[in-house]
Structure 1
């Protein structure tokens, strides 16, 4: 009965969500006359390109490109074009840019190997406007040398990561006590987002005040859902909501940055600068090669980038893992066995440690197989700095490139019987190089890969040692925003273990 009521209530939510999606992603079609007006300009601008041997493919509608088709199902979009045009490369138009999409392990290797050579850093205008301040240089969205040094020393170094494990476990236990009640139905995706965001605020900002965390988290859903939508700032669109969310986010982070700077300056006045403790404090007090402090807007932009990176993809990955544990009892039982051995080795109230994480080998293979089947990131963009030839096709300077895990993760040439969930694929030497790429690769491989591993395994441990999971909507549909999203948030009934 409760499940039926729950589904009925969520049906209204589903209708509301879909109406918003219609407005968000199809309203720009009403701007088609404007697109046609600009069509001649676009054709003229492409004249030099069209004389070259460009990759096969289509750019879709003028201005709008193929965003709508891509947003419905990135996996299907990529597979269809690989079959129709080329398994190695095809052209399209996404996020307002001419795009060469590289496919397969060979394409991944080429892009990852040519970072900072043939290719340069690039953020879509839609993302820049949402995440950054107006008129701020694109280079300020990159992780600069000072931030990179602090990031790798204080947040992502082996020593720092070892210290994070108990903190992650403590927060996970508190989160479980508040939100994962025995016998109840838990919506995994919103809870996963809540946990990952609270953890990021604690580790990055040293911010634990629930009211302030809520003021930061409220705009995040709008930001992550709209920053890669059709970049039309029009009332009712996902992009307009993302812009408004980005403004609210920046306002709150700027307030935190200014408060921290005032606090540190007051503390160090007349005493020299001394040693600062947490991550944000080190960013605020860091100096560049010229001895200048980093600007507040630059700090804010980089902090927001880290919060977004640690929020959406990790919560999506955690949701995918829980979905697989709920529908694959034989996998769940193996994970439970491994995790209970660790739990039974601990004393009362004793938190997890790095050594415990290292014992979770089967559980980590389950996570990786979940990332293979449902990669949380759609891929990444770069700009062509120097014209080059690939697979016999010319890629002009100024074009954008795109790689995506969808071109290899379910490719039978890379993973036999690709739809089958099989954690043993990752035993021994694991998949062939450049085929399993949920974290990217090359110089810009996701620096938070190990952080995400710890976060996912800690939460897995806390869930499976408490509950057996049951899906209340067996065939829940997945839609795509910035990440794969279950329409109802993956509701699971929590059955406590019998003692």
Structure 2
């Protein structure tokens, strides 16, 4: 026993100095060369600065201040409780857009998922995305498929302007375009035409977008809490619609339906489980939010520029009247007519360059990788933003000037104009939005002359651009 005690003492005496020597002289592994920047406050990081710049109507200030201070390529921050690398410029956009599933994957903040998704699907969202469902969605939204819906879109636009615009001398554009784009989405995506049913969906949807960028504190009365509660209502109502539609399909009552919901339930891989119903709901909710928020915002901003810039309005009017004169009385628009609206689309693109409907999107690093000499660790979140290219004189000379000719010919350099993102995860609804915007422009400018009631009405971001007074417009009927 004494032998073992002496042996233990000997080893301890020998081990401690050796261990101390190892700690002193060991070669420290160099820390990764992280992007320059700062994380800000504990937990909330720089989220308040990010949201504050948007609420003041200058979201690019948050980005520009940090690119000028840290790096023109990529900088570090902390948003929504996450370590974040913000990629800048065309090179940063190209790297992220082309790095999908190689360096990065799609990522939604937990706060956004809590608002939109069923809790049962949150963990597998994006990780177990039904590939056939996504490919079917892309098939539905491609130009060839959407051509068949142009007459419906045109007819609904005419009815909307006749009922909600024509009776008045002044209108608030923003709430009206929200109603219009949402009703159109309900019709095309779910074959819901009853205004009362549409309103039942639209009312809670109004409380969702403000909760996306708010502090995620789920306390009654906060924007986040209102969004979470609204999300519960939307999901339940949509689940009721899905189950009713499944029953109609099983009874042969919706055999020829062409809306997206019916086709998802009849032609995609429906395993009959509640989880599949929830996956369908997630897809439909994503499209409805885009229609309610970003598409309506785009149209509002376009109307703002049409009313602010008479010389631009005149060129759009001339192009659209040539199309209108080529139509028989009451004849609806078709695909060929849309293809003639070149200047109008250039004008719309310039509107979205100067006042983009969305600020960017998040991704998650799935491995350590290097960009511009800096290491982005696995698990970090990344963010690409329109604000490092859209008003950058390097890509758009005299960037504050409204100039639709920038989009003539080959248009802007690749990865500089990114209101719809890019790469494999480019917004699947881009062509749908293009049709909706052009059809609305055609009917609006051939019916009204526009004048802003508040010339310098401020626009803030919440998270999309919102006119503080709803964009008050004085209407002068042309007929």
TM-score (norm 1): 0.86
Q: Is the 8 A contact 1:143 1:302 kept in 2?
A: no
1:147 aligns with 2:133: yes
In 2: Cα distance, 1:115 partner to 1:427 partner: 30
1:132 aligns with 2:117: yes
In 2: Cα distance, 1:344 partner to 1:253 partner: 42
Residue number among 255, 260, 263 corresponding to 1:279 in the alignment: 260
Render the CA deviation track for 1:139-188: whole Å, top value 9, x for unaligned: 435863232233233x3133321111111100000100111126511111
Q: Is the 8 A contact 2:208 2:230 kept in 1?
A: yes
Residue number among 276, 281, 289 corresponding to 1:308 in the alignment: 289
Counterpart secondary structure, 1:298? helix
Q: Is the 8 A contact 1:59 1:65 kept in 2?
A: yes
Could you say which residue in structure 2 is the equivalent of 1:172? Answer: 157
Q: Is the 8 A contact 1:122 1:383 kept in 2?
A: yes
In 2: Cα distance, 1:240 partner to 1:137 partner: 18
In 1: Cα distance, 2:30 partner to 2:153 partner: 53
1:238 aligns with 2:223: yes
Going from structure 1 to structure 2, the CA distance change for 1:275 and 1:331 (only over 3 Å counts) comes to closer
Q: Report the Cα offset of residue 51 of structure 1.
A: 3.3
Q: Report the Cα offset of residue 275 of structure 1.
A: 6.7
In 1: Cα distance, 2:438 partner to 2:168 partner: 23
In 2: Cα distance, 1:222 partner to 1:427 partner: 39
Could you say which residue in structure 2 is the equivalent of 1:396? Answer: 377
1:63 aligns with 2:43: yes
The more displaced of 451-460 and 88-97 is: 88-97
In 1: Cα distance, 2:354 partner to 2:310 partner: 18
Going from structure 1 to structure 2, the CA distance change for 1:49 and 1:315 (only over 3 Å counts) comes to farther
Map 1:29-40 → 2, pairs under 5 A:
none
Could you say which residue in structure 2 is the equivalent of 1:214? Answer: 199
Q: Is the 8 A contact 1:150 1:279 kept in 2?
A: no
Q: Report the Cα offset of residue 385 of structure 1.
A: 0.3
Residue number among 254, 257, 260 corresponding to 2:242 in the alignment: 257
1:485 aligns with 2:466: yes
Going from structure 1 to structure 2, the CA distance change for 1:143 and 1:417 (only over 3 Å counts) comes to farther
Q: Report the Cα offset of residue 131 of structure 1.
A: 0.2
Q: Report the Cα offset of residue 292 of structure 1.
A: 7.5
In 1: Cα distance, 2:290 partner to 2:400 partner: 27
Render the CA deviation track for 1:350-373: whole Å, top value 9, x for unaligned: 111111111110000000000100
Q: Report the Cα offset of residue 289 of structure 1.
A: 9.5
Q: Is the 8 A contact 1:182 1:495 kept in 2?
A: no
Q: Is the 8 A contact 1:286 1:294 kept in 2?
A: no
Could you say which residue in structure 1 is the equivalent of 2:278? Answer: 297
Counterpart secondary structure, 2:119? coil
Could you say which residue in structure 1 is the equivalent of 2:321? Answer: 340
Pair member with larger Rg? 2
1:323 aligns with 2:304: yes
Could you say which residue in structure 2 is the equivalent of 1:185? Answer: 170
1:407 aligns with 2:388: yes
Could you say which residue in structure 1 is the equivalent of 2:331? Answer: 350
Residue number among 86, 108, 118 corresponding to 1:123 in the alignment: 108
- Name structure 2 gaps, 5 residues minimum: 1-27
The more displaced of 135-144 and 325-334 is: 135-144
Counterpart secondary structure, 1:218? helix
In 1: Cα distance, 2:115 partner to 2:161 partner: 32
Going from structure 1 to structure 2, the CA distance change for 1:384 and 1:147 (only over 3 Å counts) comes to same
In 2: Cα distance, 1:329 partner to 1:215 partner: 38
Render the CA deviation track for 1:385-435: whole Å, top value 9, x for unaligned: 000111111111100000011110000101000000000001111100100
Going from structure 1 to structure 2, the CA distance change for 1:197 and 1:290 (only over 3 Å counts) comes to closer
Q: Report the Cα offset of residue 53 of structure 1.
A: 1.7
Map 1:343-492 → 2, pairs under 5 A:
343-492=324-473
Going from structure 1 to structure 2, the CA distance change for 1:264 and 1:467 (only over 3 Å counts) comes to same
In 1: Cα distance, 2:144 partner to 2:398 partner: 39
Render the CA deviation track for 1:222-279: whole Å, top value 9, x for unaligned: 10121222111122211111101111111110110011111212338xxxx9776432
Counterpart secondary structure, 1:295? helix
Could you say which residue in structure 2 is the equivalent of 1:43? Answer: none
In 2: Cα distance, 1:125 partner to 1:354 partner: 40
- Name structure 1 gaps, 5 residues minimum: 1-47
In 1: Cα distance, 2:477 partner to 2:314 partner: 14
Residue number among 175, 196, 209 corresponding to 2:181 in the alignment: 196
Aligned length: 446
Q: Is the 8 A contact 1:286 1:293 kept in 2?
A: no
Render the CA deviation track for 1:431-452: whole Å, top value 9, x for unaligned: 0010000000000011111110
Counterpart secondary structure, 1:493? strand
The more displaced of 319-328 and 138-147 is: 138-147
Q: Is the 8 A contact 2:142 2:431 kept in 1?
A: no
In 2: Cα distance, 1:479 partner to 1:325 partner: 19
